Amino acid sequence: MDFRGEATQLLQYMIDFRRELHQYPELSWQEFETTDRIERELNKLGLTCTRFQPTGLMAEIKGSRPGKTVALRADIDALPITEDSGVEFASKRPGIMHACGHDVHTAMLLGAAKLLLNHQEKINGTVRLIFQPAEEEGNGAETIIKQGAADGVDYFFGLHIKEFTEVGTISGRTGPQMAGAETFKLTVNGAAHHAGMPHIMGGVDATVVASEIVLALQTIVSRRVNPLDTAVVSVGTFHSGTRSNIISGQAKMEGTLRYQSEEVRELIKTQMIRISGGIAQAHGATAEVEWGQNIPPVINHDWVTSVAFKAAEKITGDPKKLVIVRGTTGAEDFGAYSKHGKACFLTVGVGGTYPGHNPKLVVDENAMPYGCALMVQVALDLLNTEEPDE
């Protein structure tokens, strides 16, 4: 089947819907109008939707024969960015922009729904369409999974736009595709004192102690983690002190740790506690580490990814359009689905000269038929191909 050819016939439909979303973006957990728009489109196709709370939804297309279930996922939220792209359909909401391609993802999945309904007799099983909120918050997937989004699903597939890449190029790898990310807060408690007399009355400079900790944390990756493993420890904020003439009694920092395996994650966390506590104790201070949100890594299942790669070759018609890449230390909450089924997450090239999360981002919409067709091809191939025993 020439699914890309059929998807190309739907290009204007996808463009129109994408541009509507682009002009009226909504932030994470506020995608009420977006959810309504998607539901109306799915209802027009004869599909019944299940709403998530507070936003997002899913629908199912059941095939002519029973079988497994594959879920196709698109994220729907925008970013707190003031658009400066210059396109005629720019955001009409100041300070909010679809700067990460979620409008494109949504339009491609709606196009895929149309194609799948046109070929419903070829579906051996069920295709679930997941329109997920709050990816940018990092907890959208986990939230809707708790509401049943992943129940009964055997396979998950998702796509993301990729800037600076030729239109239609499909990229990915087996194994760790994107890193996990966990946030932390580290508080150092010293003893405030007069800045001119730091040597008396028990003053403990929290700024100095915390600065040593920041530098020492970098030795975790360089000296504790296997050089062949992926890991990053970054301190993003550092706040200390109240006045220029007072030695700080407290310093607070926040950051993230990135990892691709649970073993490395636990190693980093153990060393962070050990290093911060040891340095603080040496200076007569104390240090406390608090762990925040954890986004699991995106791990592409070997067989599901091999099916997706073959599907990409069918769609593009050009082996050079399939690019095997190294993993990235960026995070994506799609990884939450891989805890509930075998998953694969790939990217589709959209050209452009600016990266995602940039106010000047412009996407080549001619990439949408590639992504739309790939979703359809992957879904059908997963349902119609017998999975080998592991």
pLDDT over threshold 90, residue 198: no
Three-state SS at 353: coil
Q: Strand pairing partners for 204?
A: 191
301-321 pLDDT per residue, tens? 999 999 999 999 999 999 889
Q: How many beta carbons lie within 10 A of that of residue 7, not counting itself? A: 27
pLDDT over threshold 80, residue 335: yes
The residue type at 49: C
Q: Which structural domains are found in the chain, ordered by start?
A: 3-177+297-384 (3.40.630.10), 180-295 (3.30.70.360)
Query: What pLDDT does residue 309 have?
Result: 97
pLDDT over threshold 90, residue 179: yes
Three-state SS at 188: strand
212-253 pLDDT per residue, tens? 999 999 999 999 999 999 999 999 999 999 999 999 999 999
132-153 pLDDT per residue, tens? 999 999 999 999 999 999 999 9
pLDDT over threshold 80, residue 200: no
Q: How many beta carbons lie within 10 A of that of residue 175, not counting itself? A: 13
Mean pLDDT of 5-24: 98
CB 257 within 8 A of CB 268: yes
Tokens of 123: 């579906």
| Length in residues, the chain | 390
* Of 310, 9, 4, 372, the residue nearest 161 (C-alpha): 372
pLDDT over threshold 90, residue 268: yes
Please state, in angstroms and rounded to a whole number, the distance separating the CA atoms of residues 169 and 178: 18
What percentage of the chain has pLDDT greater than the value 90? 94
Report pTM. Answer: 0.93
27-66 pLDDT per residue, tens? 999 999 999 999 999 999 999 999 999 999 999 999 989 9
pLDDT category at 387 given cuts 50, 70, 90 is confident
* Of 84, 109, 94, the residue nearest 25 (C-alpha): 94
The residue type at 51: R
* Of 57, 112, 174, the residue nearest 375 (C-alpha): 112
Q: Which long-range contacts (CB under 8 A, 24 or more apart) does 92-100 make?
A: 92/23, 92/24, 93/24, 93/25, 93/26, 96/25, 96/26, 96/27, 97/25, 97/359, 97/361, 98/21, 98/22, 98/25, 99/356, 99/357, 99/358, 99/359, 99/361, 100/136, 100/161, 100/356, 100/357
89-137 pLDDT per residue, tens? 999 999 999 999 999 999 999 999 999 999 999 999 999 999 999 999 9
63-82 pLDDT per residue, tens? 989 999 999 999 999 999 99
SS (H, E, C) 355-377: CCCCCCCCCCHHHHHHHHHHHHH
CB 261 within 8 A of CB 274: no
CB 298 within 8 A of CB 304: no
Q: Tell me the pLDDT of the chain averaged across its residues.
A: 96
pLDDT over threshold 90, residue 199: no
* Of 270, 251, 249, 250, the residue nearest 259 (C-alpha): 270
My answer on whether omega of the bond before 319 falls inside 30° of 0, hence cis, is no
Calculate ∠ Cα 44-48-53, nearest 5°.
115
pLDDT over threshold 80, residue 24: yes
345-386 pLDDT per residue, tens? 999 999 999 999 999 999 999 999 999 999 999 999 999 998
Residues in contact with 283: Cβ distance below 8 Å, sequence separation at least 6, in sequence order: 190, 204, 205, 208, 209, 212
Query: What pLDDT does residue 160 have?
Result: 98
Please state, in angstroms and rounded to a whole number, the distance separating the CA atoms of residues 60 and 153: 11
Residues in contact with 211: Cβ distance below 8 Å, sequence separation at least 6, in sequence order: none
